[in-house]
Amino acid sequence: MSLLEIKHLSVQFETRDSVIKAVNDLDLTIEAGQTLGLVGETGAGKTTTALSILRLIQEPPGRIKGGEILFEGKDLLKVSNEEMRAIRGNEISMIFQDPMTALNPIIRVGEQIAEVIRLHENCSKGEAMEKALYMLETVGIRPERSMDYPHQFSGGMKQRVVIAIALACSPKLLIADEPTTALDVTIQAQVLEMMNKLKQQFNTAMLMITHDLGIVAETCDHVAIMYAGELVEYGTIERIFHNPRHPYTNGLFGAIPSLDKDVDRLRPIPGLMPDPAALPKGCKFQERCEYACDKCRENAQMFTEIEPGHFVRCERAVRGEI
């Protein structure tokens, strides 16, 4: 049995004027101890998917229209609010994108870590603080800094505190929503290395949400490419990096500078992602795809397995025409 299995998930945001289809019939699986990279442009639906797992979609205007989110066989969309609160931070934790807003500015960092531990574990205040100090040491922060407030830390140190909070109760699944976006390249590398070590130490599965394929190459076992609320390609890290088949995936790789190839200019993907309130019929990528034909514009594309464990949502790629 998979640790997490998402089946036919659909999420919408309803306003007076329109219905925004953020996630459309999404299927996703994460095995215990595995790291899955969820990649796509801003607005693809990555964070909405993550918030749906934790049932943190704001209602209204958001609404989970359908599907199942099975965590160890239990549908999280059907459990009570009380049971869901017990799961958040304990069995499933999330590292949010901006550490500046993830921490309470008027509470000392040690107390913020200890609060999570006391909430989910049957222990005294002293025992919780002792474990909080251990977690700070684990992420490379001196224990005496537990008495400091968030504003006394740099951006990279704040993110380490957020990671300590997320891992304090040894969750089975860690959702990392672009955890290094706000950090410079040197600190980013340190944080990613630390996350990899901690993931192995705590045997935690991870959903890594990012738009950076370099981060995916360093941290992930499998990759899911997301576009306009649906997966367009899925496979192991080797298959996606060595044999990308969907035009969008190839476009993402074409926009990355390479040390091996001598090129004058990178090839950006032309155009913009379609309006989620007015998604086109047929393939969602059609308006930006150089291979689009009449069939692509008319027919919904099926998510098809083209080789063991490698799926793509493109009829022409399945037929070997591109």
Question: Tens-of-pLDDT digits for all 322 residues of the chain?
Answer: 789 999 999 999 998 889 999 999 999 999 998 999 999 998 899 999 999 999 999 988 999 999 999 999 999 999 999 999 999 989 999 988 777 788 999 999 999 999 999 988 888 999 999 999 999 988 889 999 999 999 999 888 898 899 899 988 889 999 999 887 767 777 778 878 888 888 888 888 999 999 888 889 888 999 999 999 999 999 999 999 999 999 999 999 887 776 666 667 777 888 889 999 999 989 999 999 988 888 888 888 899 999 999 999 998 888 888 8
Cβ atoms of 205 and 33 closer than 8 Å: yes
Q: Which residues are 19's β-sheet partners?
A: 14
Q: Three-state DSSP class for 226?
A: strand
Phi, psi values for residue 86, rounded to 5°: -70, -30
- Under 8 Å between Cβ of 229 and 24: yes
Listed by start position, the domains of the chain span 248-322
Token pair for 205: 């599965």
Tell me the CA distances in angstroms from 153 to 131, 147, 168, 215, 288, one per residue in order: 20, 12, 19, 24, 43
Residue 277: Cβ within 10 Å count: 14
DSSP 8-state symbol, 273: P
CA distances from 293 to 3, 271, 273, 299 (A): 39, 17, 18, 10
Quote the CA–CA distance of 75 and 209 in Å, as a whole number.
Answer: 22
Edge-to-edge strands of the sheet including 205-210? Answer: 92-95, 173-177, 205-210, 35-39, 222-227, 230-236, 310-312, 304-307
Instruction: Give the Cβ contact number of residue 74 at 10 Å.
Output: 12
- Which amino acid is residue 119, in one-letter code? L
